């Protein structure tokens, strides 16, 4: 404990850098969403604010990636807007609701492993990162997955409080809808999270990644769990096709209808940061995390793989939004309780039996991927 | 030293939020203070080297139970309660008396142990060890608790079915 101060400083530095990257990533994921949606709908998308001047063969103008400064323009616009507080709101709760929404979203960043630890970083942080051997803000937390579950379970509050404190029926209805949705899907999401834990035999996210380096990506071993997690994440994030919360025709936009300016932007920020987090979780739990070719030689390559996998997850979410119609409310509830929950319970039981059988050596000498489970 | 400062700050937050919970006139505000209190206690568990307990505390209490509380308060529209100051006659004094009894018994227990149990907190608290204790030493009580909860759920289901018929 004599180095507590140094550890705290190092943690602040590492955490600050990672949080900065992800929050910039949030700004650019909005641009990614708008650009990709535009391409899929045969439009151009935002292309006025800024460009990267790169000469290309056969073209005279040097403009590539028109619109790279769009997030900055959006931020300036939101800052300049009037920060209007409607009358008869519960002022205290109305003001802290956006903050309560953003905090849990950013908290989950703490446990995500980004890369194996390169030597120079290990030398710089002898008491902080070096004993654990991988790059994360809070390495060595042996209940990292439970931490994620705990954070997911308190994410509801921002939405509920924003809806309730606005003193508006649309906001309250939106809040109640989204709370019911998040609580319903949290159960199957939690059960799906159990699958990687059962196979890897640890709640530590780095152990799960290492286990995937040895056994292959868990989405190959457990495609059902991988898909269920992605669907559950979509529901938890309230994204299409589960974006009932934002059904403009019915609710005019749900819990955040009374918010404007930067406070509205904070809800948006929470939403996109959560998208990044769930993408990262999907990558870590099912797509092998930072594992990939040449990672053992060049550890920081792991971070590149992580980012590529996160962007792939984001792209998939946007793709689904562009191509899927919204579910009805009763369909949403039926799907969550009557389809996803039974399947995830069954999946946990089957996986448990398979693991025990593999440990008993039933699959020895048998080809096929169950044999991998026993290690 | 660092731990002591952290403990003092957290203690002030925990006690302050508990008091604010009692004295808030709005039921939703009370619930929010209670959530803050639960979260602070979770941080106490982390300081005591028991992260598993901390996570369970947040998931179960701050997450599931308080969401339910908030939902009930919001759906019933009973936000404008009257706080602790205008309760039924004698309720306040009974509560204060009982609180003192609990405080006294905890105090005597602490004095009897004499601070030696602080060492126990430094033991291995990984989920694996916890699971071993739960499923090997205390399998029977664990299963009984599970069955009790299941019975409660089934009973609730039957009662709501009957209510819908009648």
**DSSP-derived secondary structure for B4-54:** HHHHHHHHHHHHHHHHHHHH-SSHHHHHHHHHHHHHHHHHHHHHTT-HHHH
Whether residues B4 and B77 fall in one domain: yes
For residue A4, list chain B residues with Cβ-Cβ distance below 8 A.
Answer: 2
Mean pLDDT of B120-137: 74
CA distances from residue B13 to B7, B19, B20, B34 in whole angstroms, order as listed: 10, 10, 10, 11
B 34-93 near A (Cβ less than 8 A): 35, 51-52, 55-56, 58-59, 62-64, 67, 70-71, 74-75
Indicate the length of chain A as a whole number. 375
Distance from CA of B52 to the nearest CA of A (A): 6
A287–B contact, CB cutoff 8 A: no
Q: Would you list the DSSP string of A260-308?
A: -HHHHHHHHHHHHHHHHHHHHHHHHHHS-TT--TTTTTSTTHHHHHHHH
pLDDT at residue A150 is higher than 50:
yes
Whether residues B62 and B98 fall in one domain: no
The predicted structure's pLDDT at residue A60 = 67
Whether residues B118 and B162 fall in one domain: no
Whether residues B11 and B44 fall in one domain: yes
* Residue pair A193/A222 in contact by the 8 Å Cβ criterion: no
The predicted structure's pLDDT at residue B116 = 56
Mean pLDDT of A247-256: 70
Decide which of B36, B62, B86 is a domain's last residue: B86
Environment class of residue B135 by beta-carbon count within 10 Å: exposed (0-12), middle (13-18) or buried (19+)?
Answer: exposed
**B74 CB-side CA count, 13 A:** 27
Lowest-confidence segment of A95-109, A253-267, B119-133 by average pLDDT: B119-133
Whether residues B42 and B96 fall in one domain: no
pLDDT at residue A101 is higher than 70:
yes
Whether residues B1 and B76 fall in one domain: yes
Whether residues B61 and B110 fall in one domain: no
- At residue A162 the predicted structure's pLDDT band, cuts being 50, 70 and 90, is confident
Mean pLDDT of A82-103: 84
pLDDT at residue A316 is higher than 90:
yes
Lowest-confidence segment of A215-224, A339-348, B119-128 by average pLDDT: B119-128
Residue A155's nearest CA partner among A245, A310, A258, A274 is: A274
Whether residues B31 and B65 fall in one domain: yes
Q: Number of folded domains in chain B?
A: 3
- At residue A250 the predicted structure's pLDDT band, cuts being 50, 70 and 90, is low
Residue A104's nearest CA partner among A278, A319, A246 is: A278
Q: Going by C-beta distance under 8 Å and a sequence separation of 6 or more, which residues neighbour residue A351? A: A195, A198, A199, A222, A225
Mean pLDDT of chain A: 83
Whether residues B55 and B134 fall in one domain: no
Mean pLDDT of chain B: 82
Write down the pTM of the prediction.
0.85
Whether residues B134 and B115 fall in one domain: no
Whether residues B24 and B6 fall in one domain: yes
A142–B contact, CB cutoff 8 A: yes
Reduced to 3 states, what is the DSSP secondary structure of residue A116? strand
Tell me, what's the ipTM?
0.80
Contact B74 A172 (CB under 8 A): yes
CATH of the domain at B23: 1.20.120.1200
pLDDT at residue A85 is higher than 60:
yes
Residue A205's nearest CA partner among A66, A316, A112 is: A112
Q: What is the dihedral of CA A5, A209, A233, B28, to 10 degrees?
A: -30
Contact B55 A176 (CB under 8 A): no
Distance from CA of A349 to the nearest CA of B (A): 17
- At residue A374 the predicted structure's pLDDT band, cuts being 50, 70 and 90, is very low
Structural domain span for residue B132? 126-166
pLDDT at residue A375 is higher than 60:
no
Contact B67 A157 (CB under 8 A): yes
Whether residues B31 and B58 fall in one domain: yes
Determine the Cα angle at A306 with ends A277 and A322, to 5°.
Answer: 60
More confident residue, A371 or A329: A329
The predicted structure's pLDDT at residue B10 = 92
């Amino acid at each position: 404990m004599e180095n507590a101060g140094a550890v705290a400083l190092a943690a602040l530095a590492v955490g600050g850098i990672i949080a900065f990257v992800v929050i910039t990533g949030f700004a650019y994921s909005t641009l990614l969403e708008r650009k990709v949606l535009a391409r899929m709908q045969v439009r151009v998308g935002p292309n006025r604010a800024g460009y990267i001047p790169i000469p290309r063969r056969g073209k005279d103008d040097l403009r590539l990636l028109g619109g790279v400064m769009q997030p900055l323009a959006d931020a300036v616009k939101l800052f300049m807007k009037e920060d209007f507080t409607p009358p008869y709101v519960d002022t205290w709760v109305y003001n802290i609701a956006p903050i309560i929404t953003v905090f849990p979203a950013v908290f989950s960043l703490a446990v995500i492993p980004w890369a194996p630890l390169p030597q120079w970083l290990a030398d710089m942080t002898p008491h902080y990162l070096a004993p654990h051997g991988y790059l994360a803000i809070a390495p060595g937390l042996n209940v990292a997955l439970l931490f994620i579950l705990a954070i997911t379970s308190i994410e509801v509050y921002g939405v509920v409080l924003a809806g309730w404190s606005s003193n508006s029926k649309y906001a309250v209805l939106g809040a109640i809808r989204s709370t019911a949705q998040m609580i319903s899907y949290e159960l199957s999401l939690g059960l799906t999270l159990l699958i990687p834990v059962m196979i890897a035999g640890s709640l530590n996210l780095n152990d799960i990644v290492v286990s995937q380096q040895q056994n292959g990506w868990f989405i190959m071993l457990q495609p059902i769990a991988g898909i269920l997690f992605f669907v559950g994440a979509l529901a938890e994030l309230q994204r299409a096709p589960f974006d009932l919360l934002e059904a403009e025709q019915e609710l005019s936009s749900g819990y955040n209808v009374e918010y404007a300016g930067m406070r509205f932007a904070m809800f948006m920020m929470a939403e996109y940061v959560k998208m990044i987090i769930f993408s990262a979780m999907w990558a870590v739990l099912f797509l092998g995390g930072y594992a990939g070719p040449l990672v053992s030689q060049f550890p920081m390559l792991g971070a590149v793989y992580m980012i590529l996998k996160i962007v792939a997850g984001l792209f998939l979410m946007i793709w689904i939004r562009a191509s899927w119609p919204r579910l009805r409310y009763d369909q949403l509830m039926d799907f969550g309780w009557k389809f996803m929950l039974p399947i995830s319970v069954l999946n946990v039981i089957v996986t448990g039996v398979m693991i025990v059988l593999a440990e008993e050596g039933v699959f020895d000498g048998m080809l096929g991927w169950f044999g991998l489970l026993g290690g | 030293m660092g731990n002591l400062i952290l403990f003092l700050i957290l203690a002030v937050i925990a006690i302050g939020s508990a008091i604010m919970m009692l004295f808030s006139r709005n039921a939703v505000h009370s619930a929010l203070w209670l959530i803050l209190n639960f979260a602070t206690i979770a941080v106490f568990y982390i300081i005591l080297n028991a992260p598993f307990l901390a996570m369970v505390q947040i998931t179960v209490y701050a997450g599931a139970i308080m969401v339910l509380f908030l939902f009930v308060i919001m759906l019933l529209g009973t936000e404008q309660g009257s706080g602790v100051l205008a309760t039924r006659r004698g309720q306040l004094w009974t509560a204060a008396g009982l609180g003192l009894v609990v405080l006294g018994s905890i105090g005597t227990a602490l004095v009897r142990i004499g601070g030696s149990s602080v060492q126990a907190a430094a033991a291995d608290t990984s989920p694996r060890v916890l699971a071993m204790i739960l499923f090997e030493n205390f399998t029977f009580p664990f299963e009984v608790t599970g069955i009790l909860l299941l019975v409660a759920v089934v009973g609730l289901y039957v009662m709501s079915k009957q209510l819908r018929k009648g």
